[in-house]
Structure 1
């Protein structure tokens, strides 16, 4: 069986979790986390590299020891270190580390004092009032834990878009090789590009007599077959994701795409319009008096009820039908509209490539400018920059710009917003930069009013350009901070600064509705990769998907501006108005 990069990365993450629970050396834990990130974002499969004689030691952050473990995982699906750690740890305990507000010390206490090692046990204990008596806990923290674990259990039923994308690529390649298949398209929330996906709906157009049911269930990642038939087969993959395959005729393909892409609210609105015209819409077509009048294409379905085609990302019944009827659908931003990237890291902090390597990779990704925004020094785990190191970094960027061709590096910083709203570096240092990206990395559990006030104070700083990943969420690890985003958006407009849509697959932060809200308020959004490696610029496409769901046009995207216009906008935020 083929082991994919996602499988290897998951094993390294589990090793890191178990080591952390055993209070192992933090550098050792970080080495596994970095290795997981390298493997999961690498553009080629490790199995392919090994089969072609590639040297895994050459991968960034992968030495001989980790390369050996990758080989072991490829050979048998696990490694000795993981087996040993699992044997000495209660089953399921690593899931507790993915709940907001719980770190290794708290998980250790919950297990040793109350025997809790699964989220379900934790929720029961919190609801029964058994946690508040433990040292370091209390009534308020018990309540927050109950809320966090309930949210975690709900989110666990959905998968981040980027994680599902790996399955989609493998499934599409497999299905397109099936005899008689002429077309394979993924519908559902994946096609609408929701940030998380509950299951996959895959539509297949095949010739008459094509026997596909057995072929579908033979896919190597299938763990369980829920149903099997000539037109519909449902399976569960080994990681728990459900996939529904539907075989449709070419004459009904457009109608099936509309129906199975959804959303349910959007489809219901379409049916109401059809009923008013004495038509019937279903997954097979559009019918008048029992005769099919449309359905081979999506455009024909929409045209039959007097509407232009509506982009899948907008199909949530949030005003898109009215906008289509009035000829006011937005011209949604596209990846090609992005001229630059305003958030990237190098080896000066926690990145894994040098300045020149990141510049060359950004240029290869079609960008004409790149902001280097390494961390400030209070984020110790990222080896952030103090004032002295930042000055040297600025000089290095200036020297490199003198020889670069086709790409310009902007001088920036991802500066920590401290708990009281101050920025982590003095004004004199920040004034030398082209932009300042402010970010919250600590005290993410502050109450709503206090967290909001903290950010508003930071935005009032004379050297503040962009608020990074405003909600602070990480898929599977923590939910969003308690924030008054309405106030933050209004303040950004009043102050003249910008908000970031962070494209990191584990973040995708801002939410789609917040993007729309900000755009309506006249606040421009930076779609930024937060790249730490040369391969990470591909994440910009994920951010564009999220922006499209937020109705963003290129005119509302900061890094869609040509460099001269961008510089003017940034200068207005840096105390040089």
Structure 2
């Protein structure tokens, strides 16, 4: 349990109360409690009694204590049972908040997307006070766009299901090996469903325990060696489990990882060697079947190096085998250059974030809390930033195995100016500039804002350069090629934000950055110590873009990075 989880839970309770139509003062109490925690610069472990904080009353305090002691909230569970489940997805519609949905539910009984669409078509919405014909048209358009999205799940939704299932399989005694396969293993941004390969000598026993442990909504198929179910996590997700004999695990994993084009190309190569690949093994010329203990051995059987799942896509990877040894790998990462602490909207203190980075074996790191324009994230004023800078300098003296750099994630403001002046920026080691506001501005205006940051000699990196959220929003529509040309001209780094919500830049733009010679940093943008783990997803996304180790700045020794920044 950490501060961030408690804050999110309090905000979720407030939202559900709003949907239910509860007293506004009660709703406000939970939002104020969340804000009180957000504004306190200490982590949860450093606060002696969280219920004594100003802004936290008895009701909110009881919820916090229950979360700390039991890891759950009875209040939230009761609200989730009372509020129609069909209302919650409607919050994804632009401009549709809790108050509006509560009104629609109370006045018209709208409790789902279908009911809302029908009410729009019947012109019932425009009759309600505070809505009108334009609101009705806008809601109908948002609904149409929402319905037209393909039935694929973004990686940030499927990863929750993957983590849960891996934990379940880890605990089942009869499982000797397992792995997620399919598009998720290839680090595609979205997946239609999930595939798991499970090696076991006891398929019936494993199947029974697996089905008992999952939050199953529907069993699609249940055979001796294949189970297909629909489970509920953030969304309903279809999952296929294939139970295979231990000796078949490697070839089954390769087969169901794909892609289809990759498998076709490899089968053609096998055929030229008088061999035949199936999910059960590789049939030899003499009729015997070869099985393998690893995918490295599997590829070596055909005279190939190991081809990472991330690049098994269109078959062209067979023409780029010489590039594979140079691809960036997780063990190459020496640092994380973008993270947040309790000074702004992070869950953990400076010291806790330092210790977490040390435990990962990093040689250096940068603290980059938000700037003061981003008030919703408790952004730092110039005075607070310089105070934090001083604290980082003092903390740094305590460590000989990691260098802690001071930085900021500074907003590029809607008017094109930067959130801190040069006098403040000159006192920092590393300056990130990013856009968090006014996404709807015309492209020309967005590009003018970015150019301001590019021209500033103190700015070192542009973070999450398009502002996208995978599967949810496309961002603020910059001209990315022009952005990369400016980065090259002004010597800036561009970020691959490893958060599975962002994976920003996208693959085609990372490929373009490498072609243009624009250096890339893979960063987690972590707001809690556990989020440092998403570096692995970021590295796989980088591999998918064929990014080479030497092109990624946080694989460099610190002195090389400092020299680059100085120049």
Which bracket does the TM-score occupy, shorter chain normalised?
Answer: 0.7 to 0.9
Distance in 2, Cα, partners of 1:193 & 1:562: 28
Question: Who is 1:266 aligned against?
Answer: 262
Question: Who is 1:29 aligned against?
Answer: 31
Partner of 1:182, secondary structure, is: strand
- Match 1:517 to one of 512, 521, 538: 512
In the TM superposition, residue 468 of structure 1 has moved relative to its aligned partner by 1.4
Distance in 2, Cα, partners of 1:345 & 1:550: 27
Q: Does 1:164 align with 2:161?
A: yes
Question: Who is 1:466 aligned against?
Answer: 461
- Match 2:391 to one of 390, 393, 396: 396
Question: Who is 1:364 aligned against?
Answer: 359
- Match 2:16 to one of 18, 23, 42: 18
Contact 2:262 2:313 (C-alpha < 8 Å) held by counterparts: yes
Q: Does 1:309 align with 2:311?
A: no
In the TM superposition, residue 131 of structure 1 has moved relative to its aligned partner by 8.0
Question: Who is 1:200 aligned against?
Answer: 194
- Match 1:149 to one of 142, 146, 149: 146
Question: Who is 1:440 aligned against?
Answer: 435
Summarize the Cα distance change of 1:215–1:371 in structure 2 as closer, same or farther, 3 Å threshold.
closer
Partner of 1:414, secondary structure, is: strand
Q: Deviations over 1:432-490 (max 9, x none)?
A: 22221112111223344543443334323333211112232345764444333222223
Summarize the Cα distance change of 1:214–1:8 in structure 2 as closer, same or farther, 3 Å threshold.
farther
- Match 2:210 to one of 216, 230, 236: 216
Q: Deviations over 1:365-423 (max 9, x none)?
A: 21222211111111111221222222322222223333433222212111111123321
Moved more, 493-502 or 275-284: 275-284
- Match 1:98 to one of 92, 108, 130: 92
Distance in 2, Cα, partners of 1:388 & 1:190: 44
Moved more, 343-352 or 216-225: 216-225
Summarize the Cα distance change of 1:213–1:364 in structure 2 as closer, same or farther, 3 Å threshold.
closer
Q: Does 1:456 align with 2:458?
A: no
Partner of 2:495, secondary structure, is: strand
Partner of 2:242, secondary structure, is: strand
Question: Who is 1:529 aligned against?
Answer: 524
In the TM superposition, residue 317 of structure 1 has moved relative to its aligned partner by 1.6
Contact 1:20 1:104 (C-alpha < 8 Å) held by counterparts: yes
Q: Deviations over 1:340-362 (max 9, x none)?
A: 21112222222233333322332
Moved more, 254-263 or 528-537: 528-537
Q: Deviations over 1:222-246 (max 9, x none)?
A: 4433222222122233433333222
Q: Deviations over 1:549-569 (max 9, x none)?
A: 222232121112111111122
Partner of 1:167, secondary structure, is: helix
Q: Does 1:232 align with 2:229?
A: no
Summarize the Cα distance change of 1:560–1:289 in structure 2 as closer, same or farther, 3 Å threshold.
closer
Distance in 1, Cα, partners of 2:442 & 2:112: 27
Contact 1:500 1:510 (C-alpha < 8 Å) held by counterparts: yes
- Match 1:543 to one of 515, 538, 541: 538
Contact 2:16 2:79 (C-alpha < 8 Å) held by counterparts: no
Partner of 1:425, secondary structure, is: coil
Contact 2:498 2:538 (C-alpha < 8 Å) held by counterparts: yes
Partner of 1:252, secondary structure, is: helix
In the TM superposition, residue 300 of structure 1 has moved relative to its aligned partner by 5.3
Q: Deviations over 1:58-116 (max 9, x none)?
A: 9x999852344438977xx86235424763x5542221223455444665676678765
- Listed as ranges, the matches of 1:48-87 within 5 Å are 64-70=61-67, 79-84=74-79, 87=82
Distance in 2, Cα, partners of 1:128 & 1:154: 27
Instruction: Provide the aligned length of Structure 1 versus Structure 2.
Output: 544
Q: Deviations over 1:493-531 (max 9, x none)?
A: 222111112233433333334333322322222122222
Moved more, 347-356 or 122-131: 122-131
Summarize the Cα distance change of 1:146–1:242 in structure 2 as closer, same or farther, 3 Å threshold.
closer
- Match 1:248 to one of 244, 247, 271: 244
Partner of 1:160, secondary structure, is: helix
Summarize the Cα distance change of 1:397–1:249 in structure 2 as closer, same or farther, 3 Å threshold.
closer
Question: Who is 2:341 aligned against?
Answer: 346
Question: Who is 1:286 aligned against?
Answer: 282
Q: Deviations over 1:276-325 (max 9, x none)?
A: 6665433233346683554435345544555332111111126312112x
Question: Who is 1:504 aligned against?
Answer: 499
Partner of 1:241, secondary structure, is: strand
Contact 2:226 2:243 (C-alpha < 8 Å) held by counterparts: yes
Distance in 1, Cα, partners of 2:143 & 2:443: 18
Distance in 2, Cα, partners of 1:125 & 1:558: 54
Partner of 2:414, secondary structure, is: coil
Distance in 2, Cα, partners of 1:235 & 1:430: 54
Summarize the Cα distance change of 1:145–1:381 in structure 2 as closer, same or farther, 3 Å threshold.
same
Contact 1:337 1:554 (C-alpha < 8 Å) held by counterparts: yes
Partner of 1:329, secondary structure, is: helix
Contact 1:438 1:464 (C-alpha < 8 Å) held by counterparts: yes
Q: Does 1:412 align with 2:410?
A: no
Distance in 2, Cα, partners of 1:209 & 1:372: 49
Partner of 2:208, secondary structure, is: helix
Superposition TM-score, scaled by structure 1 size: 0.80
